[in-house]
């Protein structure tokens, strides 16, 4: 199922909206170390790290939405299995 939203000439699908909903940046948190480089030379790959290794600093970025609204949106849209 695709939900397409047209806004100022841009085409948004469900994946785009879901990525936006999941970003803690909008509640003022700075999240780092979500990916790491594995391998070397021509075999380098960028892989996702476990969320327990992420560095999260709260209150660094100006908030755009409230934490309550952020949590409510994430509860309404479950993550992929």
pLDDT tens-digit map of 9-49: 667 777 777 888 888 998 999 999 999 999 998 999 999 99
> 3-class DSSP state for residue 71?
helix
Q: What number of other Cβ atoms are within 10 A of residue 58's Cβ?
A: 12
Which pLDDT score, from 0 to 100, does residue 81 have? 47
Place of tokens 């509640």: 27
63's CB contacts (< 8 A; 6+ apart) are 26, 27, 28
Q: To 5 degrees, how large is the angle CA 45–CA 50–CA 55?
A: 100
């Amino acid at each position: 199922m695709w939900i397409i939203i047209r806004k100022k000439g841009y085409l948004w699908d469900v994946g785009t909206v879901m990525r936006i909903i999941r970003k803690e940046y909008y509640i003022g948190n700075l999240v780092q170390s979500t990916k790491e480089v594995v391998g070397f030379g021509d075999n380098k790959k960028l892989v996702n790290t476990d969320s327990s290794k992420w560095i999260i600093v709260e209150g660094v970025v100006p908030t755009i939405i409230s934490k309550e609204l952020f949590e409510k949106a994430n509860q309404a849209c479950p993550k992929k299995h």
